[in-house]
Amino acid sequence: MAEKTKEKRTGNTSDNSKYSMDTHLIYGKNVSDKWDYSHHVTAPISSSTTFRLDSVERGAQGFMQFANTELLGDSAPIFIYDRLGEPNKDMLEENLAYVEKGEMAVSFSSGMGSISGVLGILTKTGDEIITHKTLYGCTFSLLKNWYPRYNIKWTPIDLTDMNNLQNSITEKTKVIYFETPANPNMEIIDIKAVRNVVDQFNENRNEQNQIYIVIDNTFATPFCQRPIEYGSDFVVHSLTKGIGGFGTDMGGAVIGRRKFQDMLQLFRKDFGAVLSPKNAWSILTYGLPSLAVRQRHQIKTATKVAEFLNSHSKVDFVNYPGLADFKYYEIAKKQMIDFNGDFAPGSMIYFALKGRNPVEAREIGKKFMDHVADKAYTMTLAVSLGHTRTLIEHPASMTHSIVPPEELEIRGIDAGGIRLAIGLENPDDILFDLNESLKII
């Protein structure tokens, strides 16, 4: 019966596996078992906080099936209340799992919601979380300011060296968490190498005591990197950034193995960081189908911009995975690969201007960014990334301002470091604006 309905809806039961991921992101799983609509080309927006249940029996069945993957099987879910589940989120989740090569995805209201979600289900009081030393500011704040209140210990280390990981794992370690590339300094962590170390430790641990790897793939997007393919257990995303793509909607997601889906849904239900169906719809309708086109353009532009900055006399250094002289170029080439197997170094650049010391570099950077904010047409001084517009910001005083000044260096953040998130403009226009702004310092 279910098969027959699907046939009617798609009008096509042929094997789709020969098509590319670019095309799948447009057609993908846009027709879903999660929602029975037959003649819409674009999925409708669901805007109903609550759902009619027909009978008490059906209501009871809905509650029983909620967050019970085994019981639900392939049948269409009984929707009860938006915070538990509704069709737009379910459809987005199917597509996110698909593009990230995971078995399931659970969406959240923001990237931070998804990070709290996955860490929430993997840890309890007394456990320890190891992360890379450089992290997005709010993730840093979550681990430093909140988790100690629940007696969950945070150990930040330099994960670019596997010896550090070997030496830092204890009996209590439950999660290895990192971003690659890291926000903001673009350090690249070898996912397979982390997997190998974790496997050695997991071998002697029982099922309840396994260590899990969680990777924040926001900077790369699944176009440039699918960490699960290299051995990550979970991927988290801020959908607000490159996947959403237009800077209009916040969202987050956790992608991973089927066996964690129920717990993530229960966590989301009770902690409440639920993605709005309208946001889910935007990301499903605009973000994912345009991901490949946007990323390809942004990578081309980012490469040009990085090369320009790299050869400029006033620039101290440029961290971009696509530059052959970047410290982590070789690892980037191994794991940042697009759907067609080509090197995909992403749309994020981190650089600093020359100064005689960190204080001077910071002042020069500030002067430069203030000029950009005032005069440049193609660059906007703003946090966030993966936007249609190129965004520039100063991590030490903005996205990472939570890091105390005396800690910046050990956290891998330069006092004068500048983060550039490439948009969809004509690259020559960005180069023009950069050149003009570099003239005044």
* Residues at the interface with ligand PLP (CB under 6 A): 110-112, 136, 138-139, 179, 183, 216, 218-219, 238, 240-241, 250, 252
- Kindly list the distances between the CA atom of residue 316 and the CA atoms of 208, 330, 355, 372, 439, in Å, as whole numbers in the listed order: 48, 22, 8, 18, 15
Compute the least distance from the CB of residue 383 to ligand PLP, in Å.
Answer: 8
Q: Which CB atom, from 219 or from 339, has the smaller least distance to ligand PLP? A: 219
- 87 vs 252 by CB, closer to ligand PLP: 252
First to last CA, the chain: 69
Q: What are phi and psi of 174, to 5 degrees?
A: -120, -25
Task: Give the strand order in the sheet containing 418-421.
Answer: 315-319, 348-353, 418-421, 390-393, 379-381
Provide the minimum distance between the beta carbon of 251 and ligand PLP in the complex, in angstroms, as a whole number.
7
| Ramachandran category for residue 338: left, alpha or beta (phi over 0 → left; psi -120 to 50 → alpha) | beta
Q: Which is nearer to ligand PLP, 216 or 425 (CB)?
A: 216
Question: What is the C-alpha separation between 208 and 278, in angstroms, rounded?
Answer: 37
Distance (Å, whole) CA 70 – CA 261: 11
Shortest gap between Cβ of 137 and ligand PLP (angstroms)?
9
CB of 52 to ligand PLP, least distance (A): 33
Phi, psi of 380 (to 5 degrees): -120, 130
Residue closer to ligand PLP (CB basis): 110 or 303 = 110
The smaller minimum CB distance to ligand PLP, of residues 241 and 411, is found at 241
Give dist(CA 309, CA 346) in Å, integer: 16
* CB closer to ligand PLP out of 139 and 378: 139
Residue 253's nearest CA partner among 216, 220, 285, 226 is 216
Task: CB nearer to ligand PLP: give 79 or 223.
Answer: 223
Residue nearest to ligand PLP (CB): 111
The CA-based dihedral angle spanning residues 123, 125, 127, 131, taken in that order and rounded to the nearest 10 degrees: 70
| Whole-number Å distance between alpha carbons of 14 and 31 | 14
Q: CB of residue 275 vs ligand PLP: minimum separation in angstroms? A: 10
* Residues 6 or more apart whose Cβ sits within 8 Å of residue 234: 118, 212, 213, 214, 215, 254, 255, 256, 260
The minimum distance between CB 395 and ligand PLP, in angstroms, equals 11
Shortest distance, CB of residue 283 to ligand PLP, whole angstroms? 11
CB of 432 to ligand PLP, least distance (A): 27
Toward ligand PLP, which CB reaches closer, 31 or 135? 135
* Residue 135, phi-psi category: left (phi > 0), alpha (psi -120 to 50), beta (remainder): beta
131/238 with CB nearer ligand PLP:
238
* Min dist. Cβ of residue 17 to ligand PLP (A): 32
